[in-house]
Amino acid sequence: MSNTIFAFGLGIGAQNKEGNWLEVFYPTPSVNVEKSTLDAILESTNYEGGNCTLALDESDLNRLHMSLLKAGNIEQAELASRLKASTKPVILCVLASDEAPTSPAEVYLKLQLISHRLVTPHNTVLDGMFGLLINTAWTSEGPIDVRELADRQLSARMEGRTIEVFSVDKFPKMLNFIVPTGIRVGDAARVRLGAHLAEGTTVMHEGFVNFNAGTLGNSMVEGRISAGVVVGNGSDLGGGCSTMGTLSGGGNIVIAVGEKCLIGANAGIGIGLGDRCIVESGLYITAGSKVAVLDENNQVVSTVKARDLSGQSDLLFRRNSASGAIECKTNKTAIELNEALHAHN
């Protein structure tokens, strides 16, 4: 067995009536776990190696607490001790290696690694995750298997209560699990668990950030960051703009936005942008869009498919008001972000 493991987490789970996991909350997951912590897990639990999820009882947690203390991992030791008071199932998820998840507990650990900023988007394997998650009603009384919702609603009404349903989805809100430092979010429902919001990010009320996607630095997000899309430091997404993700027609192509870019209001991209690029408001560029490339005198020097410009820096995309053609020229305008707009103090 290797001296280190990819990740592990102590968590509190919620199950449906059949005992299937609906969610697992990991308060302080860890990555690149040192040998001393791995040894503590091996000697105090039934973990025998590999990628594994174990249910822990009070005696397990007592042993784990003492072993982690000896290993010098005070944070995880204190968590193990605190979880002894949980009335909900406590589980230990250990990922010896970064492979495709095989259970909801593993999916939830990986999504929370991303949202805790321990792993950046596209740097953990999530293949097959959708088939492992149960369609869930996220309610004022916690997660409920959607097949069990009607019965729970009736029981609540008979007791004089109303269960408020916030959404029916395989993913919960990120902020119900993690609130990273140095961010602002106008509407928590528009950021899914597994989003990566870097320090200095603002997601306005109409902004949206999907899982395995997000920002790597200061950004003002008033548009949509679709699944798989990563936005570089200093880039802004204008109101109503769109990025074509891996779940919205982009296939397996990663749509990335470089640093200090601006995608205007109601614009959209189906290609990657390098650094310091601008897309004019209202202009949607798909990979197959024909683009007229202009020289410094605004003369057409070539016509290409937009995919041929994907990832290149210092480009300005606009639409010719007379002909309607999409044009591209070198962007000589320095984009300076409004510091007050991005202030998080």
pLDDT band at 208 (very low <50, low <70, confident <90, very high): very high
- Annotation marks residue 222 as catalytic: yes
Domain tally, the chain? 3
Same domain for 207 and 164 = no
User: Of 128, 154, 184, which marks where a domain is finished?
Assistant: 128
Percent residues over pLDDT 90 in the chain: 89
Dmax over Cα atoms in the chain, in whole Å?
A: 77
Binding residues for Mg(2+): 206
* Long-range contact set of residues 284-293: C-beta below 8 Å, sequence gap at least 24: 284/242, 285/317, 285/326, 286/244, 287/253, 289/326, 290/325, 290/326, 291/317, 291/326, 291/327, 291/328, 292/320, 292/325, 292/326, 292/327, 292/328, 293/327, 293/328, 293/329
- Classify residue 339: in a domain, yes or no: no
Is pLDDT at 25 greater than 80 in this prediction?
Answer: yes
Q: Is 165 inside any structural domain?
A: yes
* Domain containing residue 280: CATH number: 2.160.10.10
Report the alpha-carbon distance of residue 320 to residue 313 in Å, rounded. 21
- The string of pLDDT tens digits covering residues 39-65 is 999 999 999 999 999 999 999 999 999
Task: Give the orientation angle of helix 58-71 with respect to helix 35-44, to 10 degrees.
Answer: 150
The answer to whether residues 99 and 179 belong to one domain is no
Q: Does residue 339 sit in helix, strand or coil?
A: coil
What is the predicted pLDDT for the residue at 344? 52
Statement to judge: residues 165 and 178 lie in one domain = no
Same structural domain, 154 and 22:
no
Decide if 132 contacts 100 (C-beta within 8 A).
no
- Identify the H or E element spanning 300: strand 300-305
Q: What is the value of pTM for the model shown?
A: 0.91
Residues 51 and 70 occupy one common structural domain: yes
Determine the pLDDT at residue 246. 64
Q: Does 339 score more than 50 pLDDT?
A: no
Catalytic residue among 106, 222, 259, 327: 222
| Per-residue pLDDT at 330 | 87
Give residue 145's pLDDT. Answer: 97
Q: Which residues are annotated as a binding site for succinyl-CoA?
A: 224, 239, 242, 265, 280-281, 288, 305, 318-321
Same domain, 181 and 313: yes
What is the domain extent for residue 45? Answer: 5-128
What one-letter code names the amino acid at 317? Answer: F
Residues annotated within the binding site are: 206, 224, 239, 242, 265, 280-281, 288, 305, 318-321
In a shared domain, residues 164 and 201: no
